[in-house]
Amino acid sequence: MDLICALKRLIENKDLRIEMGLKGRVIAERDYSINSILDQTFKIYTS
């Protein structure tokens, strides 16, 4: 699927946009929370 088709699919499908947005938020909160960043930084300095 090329970029144009993927964008068209998102434009035309509100439910898909919502689903992808919610999943993206879960990933962002998990991987980029302050606790996650602190843990990653701590591991760098203690390894």
Chunked mean pLDDT (size 10), the chain, 47 residues: 94 98 97 95 95
User: Are the CB atoms for 22 and 15 separated by under 8 Å?
Assistant: no
Residues 6+ away with beta carbon under 8 Å from 24: none
Quick one: pLDDT at residue 16? Answer: 98
User: Are the CB atoms for 13 and 7 separated by under 8 Å?
Assistant: no
pTM of the predicted structure, to 2 decimals: 0.69
Quick one: pLDDT at residue 31? Answer: 94
Alpha-carbon span 6 to 29, nearest angstrom = 25
Quick one: pLDDT at residue 41? Answer: 96
Quick one: pLDDT at residue 7? Answer: 97
Quick one: pLDDT at residue 11? Answer: 97
